[in-house]
Amino acid sequence: MTDKSRKPLALFLSLPVLAWALYDFSNTIFSANIVTLFFPQYITEIIGTDARLEQISSTIIAYANAFSAILLIIFSPLFGVLMDRTGKKVKYIIIFTILTVILSIGMGIFGGVNSSTIFGIPNGLFITILFFVFAKFTYGSGNIFYDGMLSSLGNKKEVPLISGFGVALGYLGTLFGIFSVLLIVGEAPIHNAFWLSGLLFLLFSLPIFIINKDPVKKKTRKTSFLSGYKEVYQSFLEAKNHPSIFYFMIAYFFINDALATAIAMMQPYATTVVGFEASQFLIVFMVATLFSIIGAFVFGFINQKYGSKPTFSLIGLVLAIAITIAALPLPMWTFWLAASLFGVAMGSVWVVSRTIIIELAPEGHEGQFFGLFAFSAKMSAIVGPFIYGSITLVLADFGTIASRIAITSLLVMVVIGLYFHSRVKISTEQT
């Protein structure tokens, strides 16, 4: 790869870059359709036959997300070592994508089967939940290798453009996935959305399978697989020597925890607490997605004009307002506003937080702290859903009040995050 930067159009249309970005399109179909929309809807329809069971369904959705995140936490350091040892990324993207597709199709098959019980749970429901946990894990595993490909696709000036191109196609994948299910599945039982989403994931992953190639393996010093855990621990110790980046890691943990949990639980909350029909919520989610795109662009300019620290604080404030509106028993139309604000926060938080990491990381250690940053995000994907699900489980007898208390707990996380962020210091030279 030469240092000379290509023009944006030539860059985006180069086959390796286009194929890589299309994978963002394809995997977002899985994350939006299955993780955010139709798995929660399926669980709510099967289990939530009254106010108490609706809260139990929220617990199951939250715990399933938390368990898949635990698996990813356990294995992700090993994947980093595997990449370093073999230099292979496309190979493992193919493996984990195919596993995710098989599990998604399996969810579609077993989601409609309930002929007997396992541990007192209908067998089809039990297997579908189990397949979801592993499908989300294999999906996240493939993304680790996918993200690892980015630096090899262009030079330092091109990489941000390539990354943004992938994000943009990802948002289009969200909209395409929803419209496809509405068009093809229609009024059929909701579990049919699982196999369709899996096949669409496979279809748009084919370009990266075929076009992108792993480099010829170079001889490298073999390291222990356990060294991946050691590197995470050493990065944590290194962060403690840089107070601002340490405080920001904590701040990001809590802010991302609240945001990721809100997005994961938006469907069951909107349908069982606010009162939206499942078909209405699809429109709400598409509006939130559009506001994610707007948020990414607008907050990029705000970041450029006012600096990354106040911009991140503003994102936290937007998220706090969204949670407050959603938690209060207000008229239904106000949830449209809350969902739009959630979308703005979702689209902007990565744009700004990535800038802060670059500004705060010591020169030559950016990769190390981005790794710790990613690990922090994975950890937060466990804690938030677990707390939310535990609240709805313990308070299930109180009906919708349980979910309102659960979502209010996210506001506490935002406040804690903003407190630690206030202790971050970014010098004017860096901004």
Domain boundaries, the chain: 15-215, 227-424
What pLDDT is stored for residue 2 in this prediction? 47
What pLDDT is stored for residue 221 in this prediction? 58
What pLDDT is stored for residue 13 in this prediction? 83
Residues in CB range of 63: below 8 A, 6 or more apart: 385, 386, 389
| Whether the predicted pLDDT of 407 surpasses 70 | yes
What's the average model confidence in pLDDT over 403-422?
96
Res. 301 pLDDT band, cuts 50 70 90: confident
> Measured between alpha carbons, how far is residue 2 from residues 15, 381, 408 in Å?
17, 38, 51
Tell me how far apart the alpha carbons of residues 125 and 114 are, in angstroms, rounded to a whole number: 7
User: What is the residue-averaged pLDDT of the chain?
Assistant: 87
What pLDDT is stored for residue 368 in this prediction? 62
Highest mean pLDDT among 93-102, 181-190, 281-290: 93-102
What pLDDT is stored for residue 217 in this prediction? 65
| Whether the predicted pLDDT of 241 surpasses 80 | no
Q: Torsion over CA of 245, 248, 253 and 257, rounded to 10 degrees?
A: -150
316: nearest Cα among 384, 414, 411: 414
What pLDDT is stored for residue 243 in this prediction? 85
Tell me how far apart the alpha carbons of residues 211 and 15 are, in angstroms, rounded to a whole number: 7
Tell me how far apart the alpha carbons of residues 393 and 198 are, in angstroms, rounded to a whole number: 31
What's the average model confidence in pLDDT over 270-288?
92
Two tokens, residue 200: 């669409």
| Whether the predicted pLDDT of 119 surpasses 50 | yes
Per-position DSSP letters for 369-382, written without gaps between them: HHHHHHHHHHHHHH
What pLDDT is stored for residue 393 in this prediction? 94
What's the average model confidence in pLDDT over 294-299?
84
Residues in CB range of 152: below 8 A, 6 or more apart: 1, 215
What's the average model confidence in pLDDT over 181-201?
92
H-type alpha helices, 265-365: 266-269, 278-306, 308-327, 334-360
Q: Which residue has the tokens 């499942």?
A: 278
Three-state secondary-structure class, residue 226: coil
What pLDDT is stored for residue 364 in this prediction? 61
Tell me how far apart the alpha carbons of residues 255 and 312 are, in angstroms, rounded to a whole number: 10
What pLDDT is stored for residue 430 in this prediction? 46
Phi-psi label, residue 118: left if phi above 0, alpha if psi -120 to 50, beta otherwise:
beta
Tell me how far apart the alpha carbons of residues 148 and 214 are, in angstroms, rounded to a whole number: 12
**DSSP 8-state symbol, 31:** I
Same fold, 15-215 and 227-424: yes
| Whether the predicted pLDDT of 428 surpasses 60 | no
CATH number of 227-424: 1.20.1250.20
Three-state secondary-structure class, residue 117: strand
Answer yes or no: are the C-beta atoms of 323 and 271 closer than 8 Å.
Answer: no
Most distant CA pair in the chain: distance in Å? Answer: 66
What pLDDT is stored for residue 225 in this prediction? 61
What pLDDT is stored for residue 365 in this prediction? 63
pLDDT tens-digit readout, 361-378: 776 666 666 667 777 777
Q: Which residue has the higher pLDDT, 224 or 289?
A: 289
What pLDDT is stored for residue 75 in this prediction? 85
Tell me how far apart the alpha carbons of residues 109 and 308 are, in angstroms, rounded to a whole number: 47
Tell me how far apart the alpha carbons of residues 162 and 154 are, in angstroms, rounded to a whole number: 8
Neighbours of 74 (CB within 10 A): 12
Answer yes or no: are the C-beta atoms of 296 and 348 closer than 8 Å.
Answer: yes
What's the average model confidence in pLDDT over 380-409?
93
Answer yes or no: are the C-beta atoms of 30 and 105 closer than 8 Å.
Answer: no
Cα 407–413–417 angle (5° rounding)?
150
CA atoms within 13 A on the CB side of 301: 4
pLDDT tens-digit readout, 124-177: 899 999 999 999 999 999 988 888 787 788 776 777 678 778 878 888 899 999
pTM for this model (two decimals): 0.87
Two tokens, residue 241: 């020597």
pLDDT tens-digit readout, 14-45: 899 999 999 999 999 999 999 999 999 999 99
Specify the amino acid at residue 183.
L
Tell me how far apart the alpha carbons of residues 155 and 151 are, in angstroms, rounded to a whole number: 7
Answer yes or no: are the C-beta atoms of 408 and 71 closer than 8 Å.
Answer: no
| Whether the predicted pLDDT of 1 surpasses 50 | no
Residues in CB range of 186: below 8 A, 6 or more apart: none
Give the whole-number percent of the chain exceeding pLDDT 70.
92
Query: Is the CATH number of domain 15-215 1.20.1250.20?
Result: yes
Cα 313–269–296 angle (5° rounding)?
35
Tell me how far apart the alpha carbons of residues 320 and 325 are, in angstroms, rounded to a whole number: 9
